[in-house]
Structure 1
């Protein structure tokens, strides 16, 4: 189950290991109430908090008591910022996929989910595994799988082998181009983007936080 997850979801995370910034911190004061601005559209702080609440509610529902829930929360203390990262990166990937003429059908998502359900031992087990390992609540499972299929199909459309450095570079260039088109602004209260460190990093402000791919699913 764990290995299958890595072969799928980490495709879209290839951007984290490339050699040029995808997102850069910008002045949050220019966009009051925004956690980020992507393609001129705001991801509001309220929207971000709502997504985080979805995860916390799901986590509470699968824990036996307050002590266990507190332990889960402690293990995912950076949830807000990692969630924002995911929300922004998903839009970057979606733009890159559209530029490459890639689309994802409902049938493809269902096929992937069906295969994973068999491996996990049922839908409930799959939902629990995704929540515990990747902070994906049941309500977002299909969205998450859609992103994975989209990343795989983008790699296929680009004609690249994601197991090679060259393939990863091409994939990154597509995401980098998309990010420039979207003119992404990341609110400094949530940090900045450091690609060399493969992720978001904290920024100092006066007022204040391996890649493999599976074959794409056939429609």
Structure 2
């Protein structure tokens, strides 16, 4: 898989793993929040809006009901995966700021043009990002900015996005931001800068109920 696609997969898909160290969650402390990152709320409404954008794009891409149901079934954890991405984007941005890394619109457009050549055009790129990474077409440029930022951060650290040095920088940013997830969506592993599923049975059941809704 092309390195840029590996980066997109890395930063857009959920990285679910067992973790020995989890942050405390404060759903009651932050009513209406899916997460709090650096004191800034990601509201449940904002999360639902992102998920609905993906579902609407999936519906438009596969108008056949059976195909749409298959697409939904393949992305059954979309809500949690989307929240993971929203939080990780903020963590990555803090890590990039700490490293003095910035991204220009021209750099994003250059990546976009290169990917369009690679996959066969603008429509094919939108379809690929929707199907493989759960990114709605309207969020494509925003997501590509994240990919550029990740690559530039890795370069500034003289490493790759898959290497420990890169994730150490994200872990430091996670600590700075005091990421706090509503327990219905799991918890945030500071060490791995990743969302994890909660170990408490009632939390898993509540999360599953919301996904099915």
TM-score (norm 1): 0.82
Q: Distance in 2 between matches of 1:47 and 1:81?
A: 13
Larger mean CA deviation between 187-196 and 44-53 belongs to 187-196
Q: Does 1:202 align with 2:198?
A: yes
Confirm or deny that 1:175 pairs with 2:160.
no
Which stretches in structure 2 are left out of the alignment for 5+ residues?
Answer: 208-213
Is 1:62 aligned to residue 61 of structure 2? yes
SS at match of 1:28: coil
- The answer as to whether partners of 2:151 and 2:160 remain within 8 angstroms in 1 is no
Look up the match of 1:113: 112
Is 1:146–2:141 an aligned residue pair?
Answer: no
| Residue aligning to 1:28 | 27
Contact 1:188 1:203 in 2 (8 A): no
Alignment of 1:14-93 (within 5 A): 24-93=23-92
Which residue of structure 2 aligns with residue 96 of structure 1?
95
**What root-mean-square deviation, in Å, do the aligned CA atoms of Structure 1 and Structure 2 show?**
2.7
The residue matched to 2:2 in structure 1 has which SS? helix
Structure with greater contact order relative to length (CA < 8 Å, sep ≥ 6)? 1
Superposition deviation, residue 17 in structure 1: 9.3
Question: Which residue number corresponds to residue 210 of structure 2?
Answer: none
User: Residue by residue, what CA displacement relative to the aligned partner does 1:37-76 show, whole Å, maximum 9, x if unpaired?
Assistant: 0010100000000000000000000003112111111110
Q: Does 1:188 align with 2:183?
A: yes
TM-score, normalised by the number of residues in structure 2: 0.84
Q: How many residues align?
A: 202
